[in-house]
Structure 1
């Protein structure tokens, strides 16, 4: 099941978007992006749960 997510899904103007073959890999990409592009935002288990609610199957 291929999944995707866009930063714009979180009400910001970041153009980043990610597609991966599964949710685990997608979350790895989003975590790296969050840590590098959205400082000082921290990647936490709570944030990961919020991100999961925005993942879409493609």
Structure 2
């Protein structure tokens, strides 16, 4: 079962969407995207916990 998350889940207009087979892989994609596309936002353990709450199973 795939896992999906969208930037728009966080009330912004970024069209990015990520799908992965497991949570760790999905979080790596989101972390990289956050660091590259949403500067100066920092990837923190607290942000990772918030992201985990928005993951959807397909």
TM-score bin, normalised by smaller chain: over 0.9
- Across the two proteins, how many residue pairs are aligned to each other? 58
Indicate the SS of the match to 1:39.
coil
TM-score, reference length from structure 2: 0.98
Query: Runs in 1 of length 4+ with deviation above 4 angstroms?
Result: none
For residues 54 and 3 of structure 1, what CA distance do their matches in structure 2 show?
A: 10
Indicate the SS of the match to 1:4.
strand
For residues 38 and 18 of structure 1, what CA distance do their matches in structure 2 show?
A: 15
1:14 shift after superposition: 0.1
Structure 2 match to 1:34? 34
CA RMSD of aligned residues (A): 0.4
For residues 2 and 49 of structure 1, what CA distance do their matches in structure 2 show?
A: 19
Which runs of 5 or more residues in structure 1 are unaligned? none
